[in-house]
Structure 1
Amino acid sequence: MGEQFPGDQNIRVSDSERSAALAALGQFYAEGRLTMQETDERCEAVADAKDRSDLNKIFFDLPYQEIVAVDRVEPTYTASEVATLHRNGARPRAGILGLTTVAAITGTAVLSSTTPFAAVLLALIPIVFILLYVMKVGPDSWYAPTPRQLERRRMAELREKEKRRDLELKAQRRERTHALTTRALDAAETVFETKPWKRK
């Protein structure tokens, strides 16, 4: 019998392999090969799996079908690269805002003796702040995400995947339970109809 997750068994499990394993367990549950409790226990084991050998142990008594996890190929950057980009991008924005603040305050101080409208220059500070930090005007390199922002985004995506997986499993369980209940009622009705006391 082959392995559900072939290849080097010491390779650490990826998120896509965990998702594929959970989907396969849901399918086996829908086919009636696993009980609800067994499915829950094995789903927890998938979450705790460290390498492919751990995943294969979960499927040892189920029909063989190679489970292929499809990874989306997306450009990735290391945390140091993102941090460098962020540092490089943070300086121009902070510098522009700082220069605007200095110019507005200095201009207000110089012009306050000659015109009553000198204080209007102070409005430049919030305007420039809004342009740079809210509307994000400027090159894309100024707005590269920090490693912490990337990590938060990844965690949010993982939580969303987990919610979708839970909803799919619940739907499959409801469908399976409904099918089993219908089958049990049909069997009971058949037995009742064939009892001797029903014959004339």
Structure 2
Amino acid sequence: MGAHFPGDKDIRVSDNERSTALAALGQFYAEGRLAMEETDERCAAVAEATTRGDLNDIFFDLPHNSGGVVGLPEKTYTAAEVAELHRQGARPRAGILGLSTVVAITGTAILAQSTVFAPVLLAIIPIVFILLYVMKVGPAKWYAPTPRQIERRRIAALRKEDKLRNLELKAQRRERSHALKTKALDAAENVISTKPWKQR
């Protein structure tokens, strides 16, 4: 069975790897591979882990190919590469809009003498703008996001993940509280049903 967190086992753990490990433990709990107490213990161990080796020790008896566990690193791009992709995608759209504007204005000027409907050609400009910049018609590479948009998406995803984690923790606390109340009520009912004070 391979390592869940591949690479040098002495490399220190990142926050992203800790989040991935916690998500994976939640998945294993949902699958029924871990009891709630075991999940809590392992989550605490993830928080204390300092190296990838420490994390791998936490997952020693769990299958490697379950969802949420780190596999091969994802392809990443630098901010400069992303900005260049965005610039390359913006050029064709700007060119098409520019040509449409020139054609509309020139056509309007030429046809203005012969027909009263010539100004209708000017409607081409907002139509092309809406198609290219609002409806995003065209190849996907024209619409590469800017580094700022990517950062916003990441922040939104992290907030959503954090919200889900908080909801899961609240649900677990409620479940534990319910289990404790049930045990306390069972114990009280047991004491009442045996009536030890009447057996003397």
Alignment TM-score, normalising by the size of structure 2? 0.70
Alignment correspondent of 1:130:
130
Q: Distance in 1 between matches of 2:70 and 2:196?
A: 61
AA aligned to 2:50 is R
How many residues are aligned here?
Answer: 181
Q: 2:150 matched to 1:144?
A: no
TM-superposed deviation, 1:8:
4.7
Alignment correspondent of 2:99:
99
User: Match of 1:76, SS?
Assistant: coil
Alignment correspondent of 2:174:
174
Alignment correspondent of 1:65:
58
Contact 2:20 2:70 in 1 (8 A): no
TM-superposed deviation, 1:189:
2.6
TM-superposed deviation, 1:159:
1.6
Structure 1: state its 5+ residue gaps. none
Alignment correspondent of 1:17:
18
Contact 1:107 1:121 in 2 (8 A): yes
TM-superposed deviation, 1:107:
2.1
Q: Distance in 2 between matches of 1:141 and 1:23?
A: 33
Percent sequence identity over matched residues? 58
Q: Distance in 1 between matches of 2:124 and 2:23?
A: 55
- The answer to which structure, 1 or 2, has the higher relative contact order (CA under 8 A, 6+ apart) is 1
AA aligned to 2:58 is Q
Q: Distance in 1 between matches of 2:38 and 2:193?
A: 27
Contact 1:16 1:70 in 2 (8 A): no
Q: 2:37 matched to 1:31?
A: yes
TM-superposed deviation, 1:29:
9.6
Change (3 A) 1:176 1:78: same
Change (3 A) 1:12 1:196: closer
